[in-house]
Structure 1
Amino acid sequence: MSGKNQLSFVEPSKSPFFYGYVVLLVGSIGVYCSIPGQTIGVSVFTDPVKDALGLSRNEFSNAYMIGTICSALVIGRAGIWFDRYGARWVAFFAAITLSFALLLCSVSVQMSESIKKLLGLDTWLIPFVVMTLLFFLLRFSGQGVLTMASRNMIMIWFDKNRGKVNAISSVAISFGFSSAPLWLNALIEDYSWEFAWQALACGLLVFALLVLQFYKNRPEDHGLVPDGILKKKDVETEIIPIANQYTLKEAQRTRAFWMYGLILAFNSFFITGLTFHVVSVFASEGFPKEDAISIFLPASVVAVTISMVFNFLSDYLQLKLYLYLMIFGGLMASVGFLFLSSAVGVPFLIGGFGIMSGFFAVLNAIVWPRFYGRTHLGAITGKIMSFLILASALAPPIFSFCLSTFGSYRLLGYLGLAFLLFLSLASVRATNPQ
């Protein structure tokens, strides 16, 4: 057994079909298993946990924000680990860390009380610090490392069919994520929030064992090539172009790195801020809570449709078109945000929300290996991931500050329009560096 396959009984070269499809399945499951570290997975626990810890909503939210920002500052190091050690070991230790963090979360009340007794202090700062540290572990290992390693592994195993497999993965993950709050809430209500986190921790330990067996770093490590095995005559007759393998520093010198990174970060900022404050945003324009919540289903339908169609087409079309379509979606959403109470406000907001989310699923996976190669993919996507996590962490407090300072959220709509117009002009020369 080769060193690349230690502790695994699965040998990709002996598979009766291209092993990349196994990678597609287990990698998608890996992204799905990151849910406990994602906002959608944490939000269900907010009310019962904050009440048990004696924290206010603002204190709990600030702990989440600080933990998220700290994870954004160090996620780039995980990208370097990915390039050095591969998806298999990085995903394995991420799953173990996430499981350990969930177990600690389930006993966070006991931890806080023990520290209070030890120090002889009865202050909200102790549970606040405890949850900040735990949120750092959750966000770093779940939203950051496990997601990055799983998605990058899929992209490495495919080249010409990268868009098609990303379409399958994105749609499956979208439906999986959308269902997560339902079964997580059922676990909490039927048992308890402590049991729910403990059950998730046990599930991640089982998944970590599956990672050791089925996660494989590169097809070349097993005598294969991306997309499948080439016959000998194909190797002799077909000239395969070798892509330039950019380092992170070289990638950062290209305009494309910043333009695509900024539009993805804008999506994270806008969508997170809107989702976090959606009831308040709509209430400020005279809408009831039911109308606010109702925007997510049609937006998800738009996003999944766009993701599926344009992922397939990405194998044949230039990604610069996608960049401008995503900017267009952002402009639509910003206009809808500004004129929410008008006839076009809600449709524009839903359409823009869905368009941005759909193209985010395409560009965040496809751009980096196509533009910069696979050798330093971890370092490059790790840096981009830090942008996204930082943007998502800053969004809720900035939205809240805008309302408390100016009495309205509309300033964010104007700032969004200005930023996107700048981005559309600056992206004219954001071409594929290959």
Structure 2
Amino acid sequence: MTDLYYFFKNNFRKVGFGWLLTFFSSFGQTFLISLYVPEIVRDFQITEGTFGAIYAGCTVISSIVMLTVGHTVDHKPVKKVTAFTIFSLAFSSILLGFSYHIGLLFIALIGLRLTGQGLMSHISMTVISKYFDKNRGKALSISSLGYSMGEAILPVIIVLLIGWFDWRIASIASGCALLIYLIRLKFTNLADFDKQLSGEGRPSTLSLLKDYKNVVFQKKFGIMMPASFALSFTITAIFFYQYVFVEDKNWSVQLYATFFTVYAVTRFLFSLFGGMWVDKYTAKVLFRYFLIPLTLGILPFAFMESIIGALLLLIMAGITVGMSGTVQTALIAEMYGTAKMGAIRSVFTMFMVLSTALGPLLVGFLIDLKIPFSTIMLILFGLMALICLNSLRIKNEKYLSN
């Protein structure tokens, strides 16, 4: 931990930039948008299922658009790309607040998902990976702590704003907060990150397609992508319907909610541990095991009668999710190099964002079919177990140096 402290002290501004981007990505994440859902459903007079379908469609569209813009961080100045992304996220938040027509709601949600969950995280993880080599794990782990802080702080603020005013004011206020940071960004020196930019300029569409084809048809992509997809698919589906599952088990909703503090603390700690372990053992080694805790945690959640089963899931999920961002991003750098990391990582991000749409959609379909809760959890366990076995194959893949 001493090494981590001195690293943070010596690189505060650079990793702080990465942290702020992951923190502000919360405005496009499911956990924050879900706070608006009851009010949106009432105002637009639609059902939860209809909104779920709209949300899934917007998320799928944003994941596809991600492929066309994710590469910009490889060849455009970091400040310029970041400023455009923050402005777009702010505009989308404000547009959501002024959405009195379903068409505007659709556009706002696409913008939130693309720039929030997609690009803000993508820029942070990509530029940090490119700039740091020897201490990449520590840098990524500190940057990823913005996710945990966003989950801990922002829902409380948004709920208060909704309670004092309404959901529209809360969404507009979120956009204004982003615009304030945009002003601060103007006076932030990010020139050091631009030293890693590609000198080839903007790639042609044909070149991009060739790069994407080379990535997708490599064996290591078939090992790495399913882990990213399955993790986001499973964790989003479970958390999206967590209170439905809790009520199905007749557990105390209030007690379950307090357990989330344990999840947040666990995720925070293992974000830090994951970074130190990546630097010590490499991401390639950790990738083989980081999904196991969540996979095992599904079983007590499904079959234990006591609410301790939920606590065990949240602890195990905190371990896996805490390490995931650092391990997966560092592995991309190790296996593909960092020269075209923006373009390569955008492919992985596309599948990750896509999975966050499909997870709630498919699990919701199973719930509508009256499939028992334990059976749904067993299906997710089986999926994760297969992916864990597939991840072991990374052992035989070779590194690619820049």
Is the shorter-chain TM-score for this pair beyond 0.5, marking a shared fold?
Answer: yes
| Aligned position for 2:342 | 378
Match of residue 373, structure 2, among 401, 409, 428: 409
Deviation at 1:340, TM superposition (A): 3.6
Once the two structures are superposed, the pairs formed by residues 141-180 of structure 1 within 5 Å of their partners are 141-180=115-154
Deviation at 1:343, TM superposition (A): 8.2
| CA shift in 2, pair 1:404/1:143, >3 Å | same
| CA shift in 2, pair 1:291/1:395, >3 Å | farther
| CA shift in 2, pair 1:18/1:49, >3 Å | same
Q: Distance in 2 between matches of 1:292 and 1:99?
A: 33
What is the SS of the residue equivalent to 2:351?
Answer: helix
| CA shift in 2, pair 1:249/1:215, >3 Å | farther
| Aligned position for 1:297 | 261
Does residue 1:320 correspond to 2:287, yes or no? no
Q: Distance in 2 between matches of 1:181 and 1:42?
A: 9
What is the SS of the residue equivalent to 2:305?
Answer: coil
Bigger mean CA offset, 284-293 vs 375-384: 284-293
Deviation at 1:384, TM superposition (A): 0.9
| Aligned position for 2:386 | 422
Is contact 2:231-2:291 (8 Å) kept?
Answer: no
Letter matched to residue 268 of structure 1:
S
| Aligned position for 2:399 | 433
| CA shift in 2, pair 1:78/1:211, >3 Å | farther
Letter matched to residue 159 of structure 1:
D
Letter matched to residue 389 of structure 1:
V
Structure 2, gaps ≥5 residues long:
1-7, 198-209
Larger Rg: 1
What is the SS of the residue equivalent to 1:341?
Answer: coil
| CA shift in 2, pair 1:340/1:399, >3 Å | farther
Deviation at 1:212, TM superposition (A): 4.2
Does residue 1:345 correspond to 2:309, yes or no? yes
Bigger share in helix: 2
| Aligned position for 1:26 | 17
Q: Distance in 2 between matches of 1:165 and 1:213?
A: 22
Once the two structures are superposed, the pairs formed by residues 221-240 of structure 1 within 5 Å of their partners are 221=195
Bigger mean CA offset, 308-317 vs 418-427: 418-427
Q: Distance in 2 between matches of 1:283 and 1:220?
A: 51
Match of residue 161, structure 2, among 187, 191, 210: 187
Deviations 1:111-161 (A, max 9, x none): x2xxxxxxxxxxxxxx2x432222111111111112211221222221111
Deviation at 1:198, TM superposition (A): 2.1
Is contact 2:227-2:391 (8 Å) kept?
Answer: no
Once the two structures are superposed, the pairs formed by residues 22-421 of structure 1 within 5 Å of their partners are 22-109=13-100, 112=101, 127=102, 129-214=103-188, 216=190, 219=193, 221=195, 247-341=211-305, 345-421=309-385
| CA shift in 2, pair 1:39/1:215, >3 Å | farther
What is the SS of the residue equivalent to 1:197?
Answer: helix
| Aligned position for 1:118 | none
Letter matched to residue 247 of structure 2:
A
Is contact 1:26-1:214 (8 Å) kept?
Answer: no
| CA shift in 2, pair 1:59/1:159, >3 Å | same
Deviations 1:65-98 (A, max 9, x none): 2111111122111212222324322221111111
Deviations 1:394-426 (A, max 9, x none): 111212211222431333333333333333333
| CA shift in 2, pair 1:293/1:221, >3 Å | same
The alignment yields a C-alpha RMSD, in angstroms, of: 2.7
Letter matched to residue 192 of structure 1:
D
What is the SS of the residue equivalent to 1:34?
Answer: helix
Deviations 1:273-294 (A, max 9, x none): 1111111112222323224434
| CA shift in 2, pair 1:297/1:392, >3 Å | same
| Aligned position for 2:207 | none
Deviation at 1:341, TM superposition (A): 2.2
| CA shift in 2, pair 1:18/1:249, >3 Å | farther
Identity over aligned pairs, percent: 22
Deviation at 1:19, TM superposition (A): 9.1
TM-score between both structures, scaled by the size of structure 1: 0.79
| CA shift in 2, pair 1:171/1:101, >3 Å | closer
Bigger mean CA offset, 95-104 vs 320-329: 320-329
Deviation at 1:22, TM superposition (A): 1.9
| Aligned position for 1:5 | none
Is contact 2:302-2:377 (8 Å) kept?
Answer: yes
| CA shift in 2, pair 1:63/1:267, >3 Å | same
Letter matched to residue 267 of structure 1:
L
